[in-house]
Amino acid sequence: MSSPATVPRRRRSLAGPVILIVLGVIFLLGNMGLLTWAVLAGWFAHWWPVLIILWGVIKLVEHYQAQREGQRPSGIGVGGVFLLILVVGCGLAASSASRVNWHALGEQIDLGDSDFPAFGNSFTYSHQETQKFPAGGSLHVVCDRGSVVINPANENTVRVEVNKKVVADNQAQADKFDSQTQPIITVADNVVTINANTSGAGEHFVAADLTIYAPRQAALDVASKRGDVSVHGRDGEVKISNSKGDVELDNVAGQVQAILRKGSFTASHVQGDLSLDGRLDDTNISDVSGSVTLTGDYFGDLNLAKITRTVAFKSSRTDMEFSKLEGDLSMESGDLRARALTGPFRLNTRSKDIHLEEVSGPVKIENSNGVVELHPSGAVGAIQIDNQKGDVDLVLPAKASFQVSAQTRRGDIQSDFSELRVDSEGENHSVNGAIGGGGAQLQVNNQYGDISIRKAG
């Protein structure tokens, strides 16, 4: 009786273990610091198909070896299929990621200044440049990425200190990018231009923080795309345009004009007029001898204090103007408070609770979805308040002279002045009369809210 035919044994494949050994060695080099993870990521993004080629070569050699020995060649197997899918998926993702300009994408979606140094290392450099400054000249600063600090200088020179951050694969590449992005100083028609030149290396990430010392009397024009701007001690006119970053000014004797796309603004001790426009976060302005003009959209807190001349504020939601601010004013998304303010005061807004103390001069307020509380000081000026869906509270000097004409719909009226007569007819209530022989006219129109007329103290 013949014995049954022996089934040739299937050879076990070495492809999977070899690929795992290669990957393990690569990750071991990364853990030991012999290769950086950024370099490993770059290598994998470009050379991952070599792993599949190596796998195929091993499988082909094993196939012919099995045929010569009369054995069954091994297949890929479930584990091999899973490993192949993992390598291909990770490789395609890494290749796509390496072709994306992460730095430009970070700027478009307003991410942090660190951007995406996923395919490189950070290297730092310091430089210093000095240039003679022409008499009566002005300073123009251009910086695409990095902070700008302007300090006064006593001599007729401009000195630039540069602290630079470069993202590159290695030291040699970083040195090349550094040499390509040296600051450029030019003089034309008494205008000294300092260009940080951070785009000199193309799309590679370079950020340069500039500290500049320039004659105090020189006019200043700063154009910054991504970074904070600080100006200290300047007698000339100051112009600032910043796309993303905070702006800070102090001790400026000339006029100030600033445009911000995103960031906070702080200014103190300004002797000229100040103009601010753009899309801003927190805004703090104090001790201004000139007028203040604020336009654009303000998403953070607004704080004003001690402004000698006219203040004008206009956004998509609020239109406000008054003559002088000896005290302070703060405005948040749903609240506006001011103290020691001089009119004529005009305010047109919505969805704000308004609290004004020690207000002198005429007052005109239009508001909805919020309360209005007004404390005039001294002689009461003309007051006109139109409000909806919120109470109105007037706190008036007991010995002041004025005439009142107030009415509310679906609200009550209360008065501490016996001379005022309150009339009611259905949902409508009104009060009329004169105090102290008459004087300034007080008109209040309110809907869906109470009116209170109280004596101060």
The percent of residues above 70 in pLDDT, for the chain, comes to 84
Asked whether 345 and 329 are in contact (CB, 8 A), the reply is: no
Please check the confidence at residue 210 and state whether its pLDDT lies above 50.
yes
- Banded model confidence at residue 341, pLDDT cuts 50, 70, 90: very high
Residue 161, both tokens? 């200190």
CA angle, residues 15, 17, 20, in degrees to nearest 5: 110
What's the pLDDT at 118? 45
Q: Are 257 and 239 in contact (CB under 8 A)?
A: yes
**Of 234, 139, 129, nearest in space to 188 by CA:** 139
Q: Which residue from 72, 32, 76, 229 is spatially nearest to 146, judged by alpha carbons?
A: 229
- pLDDT band at residue 28, thresholds of 50, 70 and 90? confident
Query: Does this model's pTM top 0.75?
Result: yes
| 109 found inside a domain | no
Residue 139 lies in a domain: no
- State the residue range of the domain holding 28: 15-98
**Boundary-marking domain end, from 98, 132, 166:** 98
Length of the chain: 457
Report the number of distinct structural domains present in the chain: 2
Residue 147 lies in a domain: no
Residue 76 falls inside a structural domain: yes
Residue where a domain terminates, one of 72, 98, 124: 98
Structural domain contains residue 230: no
Residue with tokens 């009786």: 1
Look at residue 191 and tell me if it is in a domain. no
Through-space distance between the first and last CA atoms of the chain, rounded to whole angstroms: 125
Tell me, letter by letter, the H, E, C secondary structure of the chain: CCCCCCCCCECCCCHHHHHHHHHHHHHHHHHCCCCCHHHHHHHHHHHCHHHHHHHHHHHHHHHHHHHHCCCECCCCHHHHHHHHHHHHHHHHHHHHHHCCCHHHHHHHCCCCCCCCHHHCEEEEEEEEEEEECCCCCEEEEEECCCCEEEEEECCCEEEEEEEEEEEECCHHHHHHHHHHCCCEEEEECCEEEEECCHHHHCCCCEEEEEEEEEECCCCEEEEEEECCEEEEEECCCEEEEEEECCEEEEEECCCEEEEECCCCEEEEEECCCEEEEEEECCEEEEEECCCEEEEEEECCCEEEEEECCCEEEECCCCEEEECEEEEEEEEECCEEEEEEEECCEEEECCCCEEEEEEEECCEEEEEECCCEEEEECCCCCCEEEEEECCCEEEEECCCCCEEEEEEEECCCEEECCCCCEEEEECCEEEEEEEECCCCEEEEEEEECCCEEEEECC
Is the pLDDT higher at 398 or at 358? Answer: 358
pLDDT of residue 105: 53
- Across 303-334, b (16+ Cβ under 10 Å) vs e yields bbbbbbebbebebeebebbbbbbebbbbbeee
Q: Token digits for 106?
A: 């970070």
Confidence of residue 55 (pLDDT cuts 50, 70, 90): confident
pLDDT over threshold 50, residue 115: no
pLDDT tens sequence across 2-20? 455 554 555 556 666 676 7
Query: Has residue 445 been placed in a domain?
Result: yes
Last residue of a domain, one of 43, 77, 98: 98
Q: CA–CA separation, 133 vs 186, rounded Å?
A: 11
CA neighbor of 118 nearest in space, from 168, 155, 160, 81: 168
Is 322 part of a structural domain of the chain? yes
Q: What are the angstrom distances between the C-alpha of 12 and each of 39, 64, 66?
A: 34, 14, 10
What integer pLDDT is reported at residue 1 of this predicted model? 46
pLDDT at 356 over 70: yes
Query: ω into residue 215 within 30 of 0, thus cis?
Result: no
